Chain A
Amino acid sequence: MNTFSVNNNGVWFRSMSNKGIVAWVLGVILTGFYVLLYFFPYLLGQGSGGAPNTGIIALFDPLSYALKGKPASQWFLYGTLYTVAILGFGVKFLRKYRHNKYEILRTISVMFFQLGFAFLLPEILQKLNKPYYDFKNMWPLNYYFFDAYSLEGYLSSGTIGLFMLVWGLLMIFVISPILTYYFGKRWFCSWVCGCGGLAETAGDSFRHLSDKSIKAWKIERWVIHSILVFVVVMTIGVLYSYVYDHPDKLLVTRNYLTITFLTVLALAGVFIGSSFFKGIQKADRRKALIAIGAIMALVVVAHLGNQKNILFIDNGLLRQWYGFFIGAIFSGIVGVGFYPILGSRVWCRYGCPMAAILGVQQKLFSRFRITTNGGQCISCGNCSTYCEMGIDVRAYAQKGENIVRASCVGCGVCSAVCPRGVLKLEGSAFDISDRVLV
């Protein structure tokens, strides 16, 4: 039958999409795969100490040689499967949403960025003996950007290395805020990002499993912002270590570094604290300022005490913990492994520090919002149900209020499934400070 609206028939009846046995089996398989990948790569056939690959990984050797002239690794295997998943399920998504041009363009975009920017380009760079670099990724999602080995890589790779370093900084401090101002965080989270790309395509069958309760929203805000604070502290520590350990490598001295940190943090504080930007509640503003103040205090204490370690424990250890608990367990094992049980955007919603930063920007100063069309809402709940971020869209729509939420990744599915044409993703600079109000 040739239909032209989104077909969600039977979504809650199928074992796969309603946490049935099939879903649990898939969850266990996915989780198991991540455990092997992160902790037991030799079981996947990863050769160590120069030994050739065997098993599954060996199957990917030919492709790896073709791309970069080196044998495959578990990360090459992962990258290839990840890309295949986004492309394959992307095609499925394109079919399901074929009558919605926004969804079509957005999906082609995530497929393109995954294949070109996340997969092919970094491999080609490696072939050319340049550092591995994903130009669309940025700190803090790319938390190893400021690691010693990354910095060494950029600094020892001539002009292109320097460009990578500058590009990375520009992405964080200039390009992403500007794009978020114009388009909301969706420009990254649902058009470009690889985690988002996988969630939107392979995870689409599980988007409705996100928890919509007010309690989940509370937990979300605490967890995601705690991780943001953690990654900031960890990164400051890692940079301090680098400067301490390589006093003559950079023009940057410890003094410079401290001044830079304090300046950036103070700016962020003024920015968030200033009442010019509406949209954040007083209590949340206070919490943010306390967190920023605490980090600044840590920087000052470390500096005055001539301490290398920011949290009185080895910075390297902090970095290891972050990589293990957040980078591996949260974003991989829980984030993707639990797709069939917790929904597709668990990492993006509760964990991703990049999403946290872009979310604050979106809430404070973006043109973006989801407009509610006057009084046309019938409170049916399709929008809330299919919101992968667990936003209770209906709660706003039925009151005729626009939706401006830090977590909204702008996937557009609420608007696509609304049977009354009530929701529209759009932007304007006309009323940024009071776009929350009707």
Chain B
Amino acid sequence: MNIIILGNGISGVTAARHIRKQSDHKITIISSEMPFFFSRTALMYVYMGHMRFKDIQPYEDDFWLKNNINLLQTHIKDIDFEQKHLLAENGDQISYDKLILAVGSKPNKFGWPGQDLDAVHGLYHKQDLDAMEKHSKGLKKAVIVGGGLIGLEMAEMFLSRKISVTFLVRESDYWRVVLPEEESKMISRHIKHHGIDLRLSTELKEIIDDGSGKACAVITDKGERIDCGFVGLTAGVHPNVAFLKNKGLNIGRGIQVNEFLETNLPDVYAIGDCAEMLAPKPGRRPVEAVWYTGRMMGEVVAHNICGNKKSYHPGIWFNSAKFLDIEYQVYGHIPSDLPKGTETLYWEHPDGAKSIRINYDSNSRVVTGFNLMGIRYRHDVCNKWLSQKANIETVLENLSLANFDPEFFKTYESDVLALYNQQTGKSLQPKRKRSLTSVLSFLKSK
């Protein structure tokens, strides 16, 4: 069988690896971006000088040949789903028996005047990194628009080169659409602490042309003009599906797929950022453009193509990020605003840069989510508590099982428990000390 995978990001590459594990099918991965798979999330570290580009490629170059996975670097102009072939920019027709669309996302642009000027870029492709590098020469000041993860990554990148940054965030605090208020404020403080000019509740109105087609300033919705040599547009992403429209493929926000990641067309699958689940599992969104879901979908689609039918069960939500120095992890459901019927236990370190939040149901007292700032928690333990619908008090008494900070780090699980006792008038005591043996026996137990 001849399998074509369009896109060599984490979804497409995971699919290829798992198909190879299970079969001898012919596999070809097509991408126009770069010849080899690289970790998109690590582009920032190349700019900052932590790694070279080759260090963010997780596999050695001969890995693909060794595993008999063909790589093809070309741009696909068109797809004929009826004849089952793709049309490359050089006119070649590439036929397939099964096609996996793993075409990723595109950065959002909201029709701002000047959004297509030179020195205006998102951060998604390797080409964006090259553009940032090119424009960084002699750059004194950059303006970044969009209060999410990529915007802050871009800010951190510029800071590492001593380029000053003004950061326009539409919401009242950083990433407030996702983070609860306290965490959102913590990160806002942290951003300012690093010397970034953070403008909250501020939107971009217009990007100004310096007369040569290059951006030289922005105008905010407050009417203020900010001069700069670079504008970063990082207001989220949307599925990269425009080139697939009106070809018989069902497209909503993304390419619509069922639980087996099949599209409406025979032998065509979609995975990763570009896929939209028609019936997402409870608590999950139809389009989830994160690394981890892309990887999981890649694995599932491989099973389905190799004849071991499997539906996509992403399990309990998790994610992580790093906001400058503060690591963030989330397990389960942590809404940005506390819904009715949910209670929250929020502990924050006096230094204002670490916190632990545990949400639980007011009636059943079942734990629904963990949110961590500056403290590492163990995925498997949190996952087990969440899937077993553990009671908040059981969790608190055993909370040290979850701690994943390095050895000798100060732990705060007893402070969290003390806070709960103080709030509820109870007198719970910690039942365990931090130990891997306890963790392993807990994970093994029923």
Taking the closest CB of chain A, its distance from the CB of B404, in whole angstroms, is 5
A415 contacts B55, C-beta separation under 8 Å: no
Q: Which residues B31-56 have CB closer than 8 A to chain A? A: 39, 41-42, 45, 48-52, 55-56
Number of residue pairs spanning A and B whose beta carbons lie under 8 angstroms apart: 138
Chain B residues, CB < 8 A from A384: 55
Q: In residues 209-245 of chain A, which contact B (Cβ within 8 Å)?
A: 213-214
A71-98 interface code vs B (CB 8 A; 1 in, 0 out): 0000000000000000000000000000
Residue-wise interface mask of B (394-436) relative to A, using a CB-CB cutoff of 8 A (1 in contact, 0 not): 0000000000111111100000000000000000000000011
B52 contacts A425, C-beta separation under 8 Å: no
Output the nearest chain B residue to A99 by Cβ-Cβ distance: B325
Q: Does B378 contact A (CB under 8 A)?
A: yes
Query: Min CB distance, B400 to chain A, in Å?
Result: 13
Query: Is the Cβ of B55 less than 8 Å from the Cβ of A378?
Result: no
Contact segment of A250-258, A285-293, A312-320, A426-434: A426-434
Is the Cβ of B376 less than 8 Å from the Cβ of A373? yes
**Complex Cα spacing A382 to B436, Å:** 25
* Contact between chains at A1 and B409 (CB < 8 Å): no
Q: Is A105 interfacial (CB 8 A cutoff)? A: yes
Given that A3-B324, A9-B48, A9-B50 are contacting pairs, would A102 and B408 also be in contact in the complex, using a CB cutoff of 8 Å? yes
B-contact 0/1 string along A395-428, CB 8 Å cutoff? 1001000000000000010011101110011111
* A376 interface residue per 8 A CB criterion: yes
**B436 touching A12 by the CB < 8 A rule?**
no
Rounded to whole angstroms, the CA-CA distance of A381 and B40 in the bound complex is 11
Which residues on A sit within 8 Å (CB–CB) of B39?
378-381
Tell me if B304 counts as interface (CB < 8 A to partner A): no
Q: Contact check: which of B41, B329, B407, B440 meets A431 at CB < 8 Å? A: B440
Please tell me if the beta carbons of A10 and B48 are within 8 angstroms of each other in the complex. yes
Give chain A residues whose Cβ lies under 8 Å from the Cβ of B435.
428
A-side contacts of B45, CB under 8 Å: 380-382
Least CB distance from B21 to A in Å reads 12
Shortest distance in angstroms between A176's beta carbon and chain B's nearest beta carbon? 21
Cα(A5)–Cα(B320), bound, Å: 16
| Interface: A174 (CB within 8 A) | no
- Fill in one digit per residue for B4-17: 1 if any A CB lies within 8 Å of its CB, else 0: 00000010000000
Q: Contacts A1-B195, A10-B49, A12-B51 hold; do A102 and B407 have CB atoms under 8 A apart?
A: yes
B313 at the interface (CB under 8 A from A): no
How many residues of B are counted as interface, with CB atoms below 8 angstroms from the partner's CB atoms? 51
B406 touches A381 (CB 8 A): no
CB of B325 within 8 A of CB of A395, answer no
Contacts of B58 in A (CB 8 A): 379, 381, 394-395, 398
Taking CB atoms and an 8 Å cut-off, the chain B residues in 350-392 that contact chain A are: 353, 376-380, 383
A12 near B404 with CB under 8 A, answer no
A12-B50, A102-B407 given as contacts; is B329 within 8 A of A421 (CB)?
Answer: yes
- Encoded as 1 (CB less than 8 Å from any A CB) or 0, chain B from 257 to 298 comes to 000000000000000000000000000000000011001100
- Complex CA gap A426/B403 in Å reads 12
Are A426 and B56 in contact, with the CB atoms below 8 A?
A: no
**Choice from B42, B404, B409 contacting A378 with Cβ under 8 Å:** B42
Check if A5 sits within 8 Å of B407, measured CB to CB.
no
A425–B407 contact, CB under 8 A? yes
Query: Do residues A382 and B325 form an inter-chain contact, with CB atoms below 8 A?
Result: no
Q: Judging by beta carbons under 8 Å apart, are A376 and B318 in contact?
A: yes
B175-208 with Cβ < 8 A to chain A: 193-195
A371 to B377, CA, bound (A): 12
Shortest Cβ distance from residue B380 to the other chain A in the assembled complex, whole angstroms: 5
Bound Cα distance from A419 to B376, whole angstroms: 11
Contact of B50 among A11, A101, A428, A431 (CB under 8 A): A11
Tell me the smallest distance from the CB of A438 to a CB of chain B, in Å. 9
Q: Among B55, B327, B380, which residue has its beta carbon within 8 angstroms of that of A421?
A: B327
With the chains together, A394 CA to B52 CA distance in Å?
15
Question: Which of B376, B379, B436, B441 sits near A426, CB closer than 8 Å?
Answer: B436
Query: Which residues from B are CB-within-8-Å of A10?
Result: 48-49, 160
Collect the chain A residues with CB atoms within 8 Å of residue B410's CB: 101
**Residues in chain A near residue B329, CB distance under 8 A:** 376, 420-421
Residues of B within 8 A of A116 (CB): none
Q: List residues of chain A with CB within 8 A of the CB of B327.
A: 419-421
Which 10 pairs of residues, A with B, have the shortest CB-CB distance? A374-B379, A421-B376, A380-B42, A428-B436, A10-B49, A101-B408, A419-B322, A430-B440, A9-B160, A428-B437
Q: Identify the A interface with B (CB < 8 A).
A: 1-5, 8-14, 100-102, 105, 213-214, 371, 373-376, 378-382, 384-385, 394-395, 398, 412, 415-417, 419-421, 424-431
Pick 29 A–B contacts, CB within 8 A, sort by A: A3-B324, A8-B48, A101-B406, A102-B409, A105-B408, A213-B60, A371-B436, A373-B404, A374-B379, A374-B383, A379-B10, A380-B51, A381-B42, A381-B51, A381-B57, A382-B51, A415-B406, A420-B321, A420-B322, A420-B327, A421-B329, A421-B376, A424-B376, A424-B404, A424-B406, A428-B435, A428-B437, A428-B439, A430-B437
20 additional A-B pairs beyond A373-B380, A381-B45, beta carbons within 8 Å, are A1-B195, A8-B49, A11-B50, A12-B49, A102-B409, A375-B379, A378-B291, A379-B58, A380-B42, A381-B42, A381-B58, A385-B55, A394-B58, A412-B406, A420-B322, A421-B327, A421-B377, A425-B406, A429-B437, A430-B436
